[in-house]
Amino acid sequence: MELLTARLRLREFELEDWRATWPYESDPEVVRYQSHDVRSPEESQKYIQDSRATVNASPRSIYDLAVVLREEERLIGRCGLKVADAQQREGALWYILDRSQWGRGYIPEAAQALLDFGFGTLGLHRVWADCDPRNHSSVRVMQKLGMRQEAHFRENAFIKGEWCDSLIFATLDREWAARPRQ
């Protein structure tokens, strides 16, 4: 599977991609609000292997894609969509990006392509994403995508030794179709 945007190519992970993912997965600032801590090279390799194992599932429910700069063919992050509930046609969105690429609009661009795929090809009705309220950049990504905040859960997750709040953002298929195109 491959999705193309003006600047990005979203593609399936390859085994050797851990060499590009491990530098940002081992950066404490990048993983600060992730559910996992910094990863070792072996943990990054295992993540890639696990991601690749989902490709041949039938029916496929996880689309965990490498975000690659088209011009340089450089992997800079990942963006994923999981069909969380097929009967309800609901999906969950996630993303992570190398810190050197922050602030350039790559994640909204990648997520938009994945949401187009989710609503258009997969026929999803609703897609949601969550983040720690302290992660202002992630909140901005969801707002740029036109997602609306649906909930603020207080201390609902124990992550990295502390109770954390979660913000839930979502958009519906009809809202996605009606939004102004950028």
CA separation for the pair 131, 138 (Å, rounded):
7
Q: Which fold has domain 2-128?
A: Aminopeptidase (3.40.630)
Tell which residue, 4, 1, 3, has the closest CA to residue 14.
Answer: 1
Q: Is 51 exposed, middle or buried (0-12, 13-18, 19+ CB in 10 A)?
A: buried
Q: Is the pLDDT of residue 181 over 80?
A: no
126: three-class secondary structure by DSSP:
strand
pLDDT in tens, 116-139: 999 999 999 999 999 999 999 999
Q: Is the pLDDT of residue 182 over 80?
A: no
Q: Is the pLDDT of residue 154 over 70?
A: yes
pTM of the model: 0.94
